[in-house]
Amino acid sequence: MVYLFNLFPGIVGLLSGWASGLGQPASVAATVGALVLTAAVGYLLGSLNAAIIVSKTLFKQDIRQFGSGNAGLTNMHRVYGKKGALLTLAGDFLKQFAAIFIGMILTGQTGAYLAGLFCMIGHIFPVYYRFKGGKGVLTAATMILLLDPAIFLVLFIIFAVVLLFTRYVSLASVICAFIYPAVVYYESKLVTGSNPPMTLMLFALFVGVIIIFMHRSNIFRIFNNEENKFSFRSKPDAQKIFDAEDKENDKQNEYIPNIAKKKKKKK
């Protein structure tokens, strides 16, 4: 496995290293405090929802009031098109990168996973936006990419294949979430020849379960053939609304001359 924290061995786990130098009771307390701080930093960064920030700043609207009502990448693309989606992608990637990097500095490998997980939770339940955010797919994908690129590559290929054949982003996300723990298990078997740590399996299982849970309404709509299909070519919903409003305004302002009817001559 290739992890982000292997690239910066000199600055990994500063608080963990400091805590280990204390006496037994103080060391435990300091370690717990460092982990709580790491989780809090991850959660607060995750609560900075890029979709909401971009929609309010750039489009003067709240993405949660349009489309599916979800403050995530897919709904941003559906409502505002590629520009809104790319800005959302960049924002959510950067916040997850910052969370994992800070977690790595504070408490090492454990902190990287913990901060990444709480960043995803913060994205789903943002404290700044009344706990109504996205569904966590993008932040989860970024987290897996930074922590283990090999696993990300496997999941990305599966995601792309499912999306190509079904055009359901939600279905591709759910399938990847479902098989994520299995990919973690078999990657460890192939690379190290042994089972992965139980904490890593629990981490993967929790991430998969929460992603599936957040897509429960999408699963219901897929079974009822009501789920929206993804398309790069379709016009953004916001543009459709603007076009419809423009047509309506043009129709109301259109000048239609009042042509008097010619009177028929009486014989």
- Residues near 147 by beta carbon (within 8 Å), at least 6 away in sequence: 3, 4, 100, 112, 113, 116
> In the block, which residue shows the tokens 């279905």?
171
Average pLDDT, the chain: 82
Residue boundaries of the structural domains of the chain: 1-147, 149-230
Looking at residue 38, its pLDDT comes to 92
Structure tokens at 80: 């505002």
3-state class of 120 per DSSP?
helix
In 3D, which of 54, 66, 118 has the Cα closest to residue 242? Answer: 66
User: Which pLDDT does position 75 carry in this prediction?
Assistant: 85
Report the pLDDT value the prediction gives residue 31, as an integer from 0 to 100.
Answer: 74
Q: Which residues contact 120 (CB under 8 A, 6 or more apart)?
A: 46, 96, 136, 139, 140, 143, 207, 210
> Residue 98 pLDDT more than 60?
yes
Residue 221 predicted with pLDDT over 80: yes
- Cβ(211)–Cβ(198) under 8 Å? no
The predicted pLDDT at position 184 comes to: 95
Mean pLDDT of 48-70: 87
pLDDT in tens, 230-248: 776 665 655 555 444 444 4
Name which residue leads in pLDDT, 104 or 116: 116
pLDDT (tens digit per residue) in 19-37: 566 655 666 677 778 889 9
Give the whole-angstrom CA distance, residue 267 versus residue 252: 41
Whether 175 contacts 181, CB under 8 Å: no
Give residue 13's pLDDT.
62
Please, what is the angle between helix 50-58 and helix 73-124, to 10°?
130
The tens digit of pLDDT for each residue in 135-192 reads: 999 999 999 999 999 999 999 999 999 999 998 999 999 999 999 999 999 998 888 8
Residue 127 makes CB contacts below 8 A (sequence gap 6+) with: 43, 44, 47
Q: Report the pLDDT value the prediction gives residue 253, as an integer from 0 to 100.
A: 46
Q: How far is CA 155 from the centre of its chain?
A: 15
Using CA atoms, how far apart are residues 232 and 230, in angstroms rounded to an integer?
A: 7
- Whether the pLDDT of residue 194 is over 90: the answer is no
Asked if 145 contacts 89 with a C-beta cutoff of 8 angstroms, the reply is: no
More confidently predicted of 16 and 246: 16
- Joined tokens for residue 173: 């996300």
8 A C-beta contact, residue 25 and residue 101: no
Provide the pLDDT confidence category of residue 16 given band limits of 50, 70 and 90: low
